[in-house]
């Protein structure tokens, strides 16, 4: 974000420097914009525990974080049928901006579905979008999205265009695997095809055989090929083999060694090999359902992120992961959003599931695990389970994870409230006369909203209904946390906190709920304070400080500390 903020604790004044997503929807007529803003204002007041919210207040400056973001977006989905990525809040941080995004999505849902495009057409469309979103004059089909300057916000905007145009909703983490125009076009094409084929079934052997026979006829210049004809007897050689395997890779995403043709010399045999490979790809995907590569290259011990909220978004961690160095592999755990009638998975159960997949992926320690926000609870429990099973935890990092049951004594609770009130009062007074007047006017305006609604009703005017009672997903997450009782951990932890996080800035360490882990970690705790607030830690320029704080804990361990099968 280019413009410097005039609001304390914020990196950018989004109202004055609207970002990528806001630009996308600024020319779209917001449908019942005032009604949307009223509904959103009511939700922000409810979720953030505030009496007044102005339409241009910044979500994060008001104390919003990943859990309140998840709860807010769940309400948006339930009421309007619009599913937004959590990272949308990085750009649409005010009621006004978020209302525009929702209006745009509601408008897009009425757009007719286009006829399925060819891969070449898809590539041309994607290239044009990349040029527009990345501000480039030229994009090649094999250029890497992130190397060109792409990031989470441009990814959100790109996937919004894909959804609006083709009706396909892709996970943002898809960009970790499909980083080029060619790869992304193939995924979109496959998704469009999947929509027309029930149960996402792979091609049956007969279909494969017909495709292979057509390719053999084309490449070998023959009018007829039988399914049991020998490739080499028909005149095939290494060059035609290369061309054939290139078609297989382009169509099915399977890369075969050329030597495969020595064993699978007929259409029947080669079709069988392709089917087996398709099955293997699907089985591998099922083995590590929760592990997503963020930066898979390097020879060091991998680092694993456990995100906050419902654990559904990892794209925010890409920047800090890349800053850890090209030789540091980084992965993340992600979880699916539960259905409306389901409770959130318990913290011990989620940790156990993640540990099982982690041990399949990396059989032995040392393990480097870092949890962000409520992901810190899961990371803490994972470390407990790993050490109980005799494994080594090289790093347990907990970032901005608080337990609102702490502090537990009444004197400490009173100290907490007094210190927080003093800091907030100083923050408002620090705005200066002009800033204070703007703040006061915004809150007076939000106070007037209920009165205006009541007056409209008395005058017989139509008033948009307030949201119906609904399942509070934010409360679900808190129920899962309250059911979890962390116990003493025998190892060491590293706790990183934001110095300007709205709810906790100005607190003494003895009453800061984010430091409960210091009491539980019997092997000691390193506390690192990072400038900025909760979410700003993952954004430039503060993300550089976060990466620097983590690097010392990721140095190579002595060979003797590794299990024998991992020693070089």
pLDDT tens-digit readout, 520-551: 999 999 999 998 888 788 888 999 999 999 99
Is residue 172 included in any domain, yes or no? yes
149 and 225 co-located in one domain: no
Backbone angles phi, psi at 18, to 5 degrees: -60, 140
CATH number at residue 366: 3.40.50.1820
- Decide if 489 is inside a domain: yes
As given in the structure block, the two tokens for residue 271 are 């079709």
The answer to whether residues 383 and 306 belong to one domain is yes
Q: What is the CA radius of gyration of the chain?
A: 27
Strands 303-306 and 330-333: parallel
11 occurs within a structural domain: no
E-strand stretches of 29-147: none
Does residue 366 have a cis bond before it (omega within 30 degrees)? yes
**pLDDT at residue 14 greater than cutoff 50:** no
Measured CA to CA, the distance from residue 318 to residue 332 in angstroms comes to 10
Same domain, 261 and 369: no
Residues 41, 90: one domain?
A: yes
Asked if residue 541 has a cis previous peptide bond (ω within 30° of 0), the answer is yes
User: Is the Cβ–Cβ distance between 501 and 397 less than 8 Å?
Assistant: no
Domain residues for the domain of 247 are 202-287
Give residue 558's pLDDT band: very low, low, confident or very high (50, 70, 90). very low
Average pLDDT over residues 325-333: 91
Cβ neighbourhood burial of 415 (10 Å; 0-12, 13-18, 19+): middle
Q: Greater confidence, 340 or 52?
A: 52
Q: How far is 305 from 401, CA to CA, in rounded Å? A: 13
Phi-psi region of 432 (alpha: psi -120 to 50; beta: other; left: phi over 0): left
Q: State whether residue 419 is helix, strand or coil.
A: helix
Q: How far apart are CA 235 and CA 212, in angstroms?
A: 16
The 8-class DSSP code of residue 334 comes to: -
Q: What residues pair up with 397 in beta bridges, in sequence order?
A: 370, 494
Residue 40 and residue 59 in one domain: yes
Same domain, 507 and 358: yes
pLDDT mean over 391-412: 89
Q: Answer with the residue of higher pLDDT: 6 or 247.
A: 247
Confidence band for 154, pLDDT divided at 50, 70 and 90: confident
The DSSP call for residue 531 is S
Which of 287, 302, 324 corresponds to the end of one domain? 287
User: DSSP assignment of 33-48, as one string?
Assistant: HHHHHHHHHHHHHHHH
- Between the alpha carbon of residue 490 and those of residues 320, 380, 382, 457, the distances in Å are 28, 11, 13, 61
Same-domain status, 261 and 296? no
Residue 184, pLDDT above cutoff 60:
yes
Contact 50, 449 (CB under 8 A): no
554, pLDDT greater than 60: yes
Residues 232 and 300 in one domain: no
Distance CA 126, CA 273 (A): 32
Long-range Cβ contacts of 556-564 (<8 Å, 24+ apart): 556/300, 556/301, 557/301, 557/366, 557/394, 561/366, 561/392, 562/364, 562/366, 563/364, 563/365
Among the listed residues 352, 345, 361, 349, the one whose alpha carbon sits nearest the alpha carbon of residue 382: 352
Is residue 70 predicted with pLDDT exceeding 90? no
Q: Is the pLDDT of residue 22 over 70?
A: no
As a residue count, the chain comes to 568
Residue 128 in tokens: 């044009």
**Number of structural domains the chain divides into:** 5
Q: Is residue 260 part of a domain?
A: yes
366 with 492, same domain? yes
166 and 214 together in one domain:
no
Measuring CA to CA, how many Å separate 168 from each of 131, 223, 300, 384?
A: 21, 39, 37, 40
Q: Are residues 420 and 397 in the same domain?
A: no
pLDDT of amino acid 562: 42
In this structure, the answer to whether residues 224 and 346 fall within a common structural domain is: no
pLDDT-derived band at 311, boundaries 50, 70, 90: low
Residue 3 located in a structural domain: no
Average pLDDT over residues 449-462: 67
Domain boundary among 155, 177, 199: 199
Among residues 133, 165, 199, the one where a domain terminates is 199
566 inside domain: no
Per the CB < 8 A criterion, the answer to whether 238 and 258 are in contact is: yes
Q: Is residue 297 part of a domain?
A: yes
Residue 55 within a domain: yes
Q: What is the CATH number of the domain that holds 182?
A: 1.10.1200.10
Helices (H), 222-305: 238-252, 260-263, 267-287
């Amino acid at each position: 974000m280019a413009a410097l903020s005039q609001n304390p604790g914020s990196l950018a004044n989004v109202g004055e420097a609207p970002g990528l997503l806001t630009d996308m929807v600024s020319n779209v007529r917001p449908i019942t914009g005032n009604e949307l803003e009223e509904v959103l204002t009511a939700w922000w007041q409810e979720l953030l525990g505030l009496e007044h919210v102005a339409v241009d207040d910044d979500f994060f400056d008001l104390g919003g974080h990943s859990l309140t973001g998840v709860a807010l977006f769940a309400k948006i989905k339930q009421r309007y049928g619009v599913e937004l990525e959590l990272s949308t809040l990085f750009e649409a941080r005010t009621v006004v901006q978020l209302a525009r995004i929702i209006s745009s999505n509601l408008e897009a849902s009425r757009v007719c579905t286009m006829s399925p495009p060819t891969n070449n057409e898809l590539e041309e469309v994607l290239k044009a979008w990349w040029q527009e979103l990345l501000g480039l004059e030229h994009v090649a089909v094999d250029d890497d999205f992130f190397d060109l300057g792409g990031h989470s916000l441009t990814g959100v905007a790109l996937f919004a265009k894909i959804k609006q145009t083709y009706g396909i909703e892709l996970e943002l983490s898809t960009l970790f695997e499909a980083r080029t125009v060619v790869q992304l076009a193939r995924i979109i094409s496959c998704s469009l095809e999947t929509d027309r084929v029930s149960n996402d079934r792979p091609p049956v052997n007969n279909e494969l055989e017909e495709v292979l026979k057509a390719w053999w006829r084309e490449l070998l210049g023959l009018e007829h090929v039988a399914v049991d004809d020998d490739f080499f007897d028909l005149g095939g050689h290494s060059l035609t083999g290369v061309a054939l395997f290139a078609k297989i890779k382009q169509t099915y995403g399977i890369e075969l060694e050329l030597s495969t043709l020595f064993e699978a010399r007929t259409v029947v045999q080669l079709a069988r090999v392709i089917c087996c490979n398709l099955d293997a790809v699907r089985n591998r995907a099922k083995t590590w359902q929760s592990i997503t590569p963020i930066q898979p290259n390097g020879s060091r011990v991998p680092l694993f992120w456990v995100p906050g909220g419902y654990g559904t978004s990892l794209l925010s961690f890409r920047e800090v992961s890349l800053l850890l160095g090209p030789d540091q592999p980084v992965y993340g755990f992600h979880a699916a959003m539960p259905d409306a009638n389901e409770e959130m998975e318990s913290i011990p159960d989620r940790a156990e599931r993640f540990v099982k997949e982690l041990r399949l992926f990396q059989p032995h320690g040392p393990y480097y695990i870092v949890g962000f926000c409520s992901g810190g609870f899961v990371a803490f429990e994972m470390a407990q389970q790993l050490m109980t099973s005799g494994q080594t935890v090289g790093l347990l990092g907990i970032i901005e994870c608080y337990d609102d049951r702490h502090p537990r004594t009444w004197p400490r609770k009173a100290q907490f409230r007094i210190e927080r009130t003093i800091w907030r009062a100083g923050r408002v007074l620090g705005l200066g006369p002009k800033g204070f007047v703007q703040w006061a006017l915004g809150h007076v305006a939000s106070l007037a909203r209920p009165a205006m609604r009541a007056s409209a009703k008395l005058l017989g005017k139509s008033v948009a209904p307030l949201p119906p009672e609904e399942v509070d997903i934010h409360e679900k997450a808190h129920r899962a946390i309250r059911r979890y009782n962390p116990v003493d951990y025998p190892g060491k932890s590293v706790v990183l906190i934001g110095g300007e996080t709205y709810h906790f800035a100005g607190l003494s360490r003895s009453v800061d709920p984010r430091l409960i882990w210091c009491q539980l970690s019997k092997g000691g705790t390193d506390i690192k304070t990072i400038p900025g607030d909760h979410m700003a830690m993952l954004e430039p320029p503060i993300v550089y400080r976060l990466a620097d704080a983590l690097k010392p804990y990721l140095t190579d361990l002595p060979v003797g500390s590794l299990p024998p099968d991992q020693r070089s």
